[in-house]
Structures are given as C-alpha cells and as structure tokens.
C-alpha cells in the first residue's frame, strides 16, 4: 500500500474538496477537512494543510495535484505568462457554483481590451474573493455595460441530466469553450492577444475535453491557477459569474420558500432534508444530486419522518 503526502495551501485544499466532493465520506478523521475515497485511493486533507493519499494508486492520484498545483509550479505557471501580460488585451473565463450543492453551475467569459483596462480597474474589478456579495452585485452591473461578456448557466435540473454522462471537468471545459467562443465572435474582427482560463484541470485534459465541441477555441490559450490575479479579464468574468450565481440562488430560494445556503456543509444537508420533507418540492430542481449531501439529507429526512 502506497502512502503519499502533499503540503497544500488552503486555496488548493478548497479546490481539492470541490474536486473530490462526489466521493466524500460522511465520517472523517479528527482534524481533517474532508476525506474521500475515489477508486482505489483514500484522500484525507487535514487542517494543517497536509493531504495524505493512501492506496494502490496513491502516487498517480497525488501526481494530479503535484503536477497541477504545487507551490513551485503555480508560481512558475504564473511566471510562465509573458511579463507584461497584465497590459495585454485578454479574453478571460471562470466558473462559479461547482462546489455548491444548491444552485447552478455558471461560467462567465469577459473581454478586456488594452483600452478598457483603466476603466475596468476604476470599476473596482479585482479578485472576487476579496469582495462582499453586495460589492460583487454592484460592480457586475457596471461591468456589464462596459465590456463584451457571456454568461452560461446550467440549472441543477439540467446539470443532473448531464452529470451521469460526463465528469464535472468535462462539463466545465465545454462551457468555458462555449462562453469564450461567444465573446470571440462578438468582438470579431478584433482579436484578443490572449485567452486566459482560470485553471481547473491540466491543459492536456482541457484540450481533450473540448475536442468534441463544434468550435474548439485553442488559439493563444493560457491557463493560470490564480487567473483572477493574472489578468483583470478573469477577475471580471469571475465577478459576473458570481453575480449571476447569487441571482439564481435568490430565485431558487424564493421558489423553495427557504434560504438556500451555498457550499456543501451541514447546514446544506439540513436545508436539503427540509426540501425532501416538502411533498411539493423536487430536490433535483434546486441541487446537484451527485454530491454526497443528497444521502446525508435523505438520512436526516428519514429520521424526522420516523420521529413523527
Ligand atoms: Mn475558477
């Protein structure tokens, strides 16, 4: 039995948690953030930043993260961009909602030309993680009237139909590609100097995933794991996608008659159980059912029924 340990940043662990969400175990060891069992490998992430891979294919599984996200490579990937990249005209893309049980998957693409760079900074576009929901909503309104963009929304119902036939990464790749294609067409004949995708999988996997698309966008394609800080176009795409996600969550919450929380935590399980107990509500209309939250919610709902 192999045993491989990686040291990861909190951001990387968050990404891993999203990646392994469908395989997560209900019971986790003390001081762990999550534990997942995928095929032959058990992955345990600890609050200290240590991630342990155990099992027959531990080395291969750890290799995904070792290659994509180790601290040294992340820097070199960012450094791998041309030194004046921040000044380029760039079409950027990012997605929101893939780690949230409730709500849709939203992919945004936005084009920031060299001329629009000062304006977009003036509007307060920056890493959306440093902005409040209120700020995101207000900045998004300004961005929408300032630059070309495209938003694609996959509602849970649709997501649940597609998900059994393709991995989340493939779905994301096809959506990024489609959103980028839309904006390229819109700004044509002008051509961005680069296309930058906030990286969620290795370049080779992305290219393989979009091969089947009718119009694969591959020219001047760059990837960065911290795309939002690599160019304002990705930050803008991220803000627009998050704004859309928030709007959809408001709408779904209203339909459900209860506030639907983001993320995939215990509060989410409780809320999903509430929905299951309402005979007129269909959980698949609100949530991504392949998450392990579904089983947890079913257990909670069953207990409540038995009690009554
Ligand atoms: Mn992203």
pLDDT in the model for residue 78: 54
Q: pTM here?
A: 0.75
Residue 215 has which token pair? 């119009």
Residue 302 Cα to ligand 1 midpoint, Å, equals 36
**Residue 43 has what pLDDT?**
95
Give the Å distance between the CA of 135 and the centre of ligand 1: 19
pLDDT of residue 72: 37
Q: Are 106 and 151 in contact (CB under 8 A)?
A: yes
pLDDT of 82: 86
pLDDT at 30: 86
142-173: pLDDT as tens digits: 999 999 999 999 999 999 999 999 999 999 99
Does pLDDT of 73 surpass 60?
no
Taking a 5 Å cut-off on Cβ, the residues next to ion ligand 1 are 94, 198
Q: What is the CA radius of gyration of the chain?
A: 20
Centre of ligand 1 to C-alpha 56, Å, is 30
pLDDT of residue 307: 84
pLDDT band, residue 1 (cuts 50/70/90): low
Distance 198 CA to ligand 1 centre (A): 5
Q: What percent of the chain has pLDDT over 70?
A: 95
Q: Which of 99, 100, 71 is nearest to 12 (CA)?
A: 71
Residue 80 has what pLDDT? 75
End-to-end Cα distance, the chain: 47
Higher pLDDT, 38 or 183: 183
Highest mean pLDDT pick, 14-23, 26-35, 121-130, 240-249: 240-249
- 225 CA distance to ligand 1 middle (Å): 8
CA of 151 to the centre of ligand 1 (A): 14
Report CA(93)–ligand 1 centroid distance (Å): 8
Task: Using the mean position of ligand 1's atoms as its centre, give its distance from the Cα of residue 201 in Å.
Answer: 10
Q: What gap in Å lies between CA 230 and CA 199, rounded to an integer?
A: 11
**If you average pLDDT over residues 11-28, what whole number do you get?**
92
Contact 16, 43 (CB under 8 A): yes
**Higher-confidence position of 257 and 129:** 257
Whole-number Å distance, alpha carbon 98 to ligand 1 midpoint, is 9
């Amino acid at each position: 039995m192999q045993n491989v340990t990686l040291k990861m940043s909190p951001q990387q662990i968050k990404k891993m948690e999203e990646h392994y969400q469908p395989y997560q175990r209900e019971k986790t060891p003390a001081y762990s953030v999550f534990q997942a069992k995928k095929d032959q490998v058990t992955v345990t992430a600890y609050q200290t930043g240590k991630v342990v891979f155990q099992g027959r294919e531990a080395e291969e599984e750890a290799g995904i993260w070792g290659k994509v996200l180790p601290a040294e490579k992340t820097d070199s990937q960012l450094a791998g961009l041309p030194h004046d990249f921040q000044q380029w005209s760039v079409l950027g893309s990012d997605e929101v909602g893939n780690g949230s049980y409730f709500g849709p998957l939203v992919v945004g693409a936005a084009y920031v030309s060299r001329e629009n760079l000062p304006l977009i900074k003036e509007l307060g576009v920056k890493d959306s993680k440093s902005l409040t929901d209120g700020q995101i909503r207000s900045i998004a309104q300004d961005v929408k009237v300032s630059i070309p963009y495209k938003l694609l929304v996959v509602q849970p119902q649709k997501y649940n139909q597609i998900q059994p036939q393709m991995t989340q990464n493939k779905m994301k790749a096809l959506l990024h590609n489609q959103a980028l294609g839309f904006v390229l067409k819109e700004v044509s004949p002008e051509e961005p100097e680069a296309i930058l995708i906030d990286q969620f999988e290795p370049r080779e996997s992305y290219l393989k995933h979009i091969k089947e698309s009718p119009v694969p966008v591959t020219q001047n394609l760059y990837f960065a794991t911290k795309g939002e800080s690599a160019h304002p176009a990705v930050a803008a795409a991220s803000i627009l996608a998050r704004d859309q996600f928030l709007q959809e969550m408001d709408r779904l919450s209203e339909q459900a008659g209860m506030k639907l929380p983001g993320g995939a935590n215990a509060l989410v399980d409780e809320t999903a159980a509430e929905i299951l107990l309402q005979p007129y509500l269909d959980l698949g209309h609100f949530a991504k059912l392949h998450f392990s939250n579904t089983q947890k919610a079913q257990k909670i709902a069953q207990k409540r029924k038995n009690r009554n």
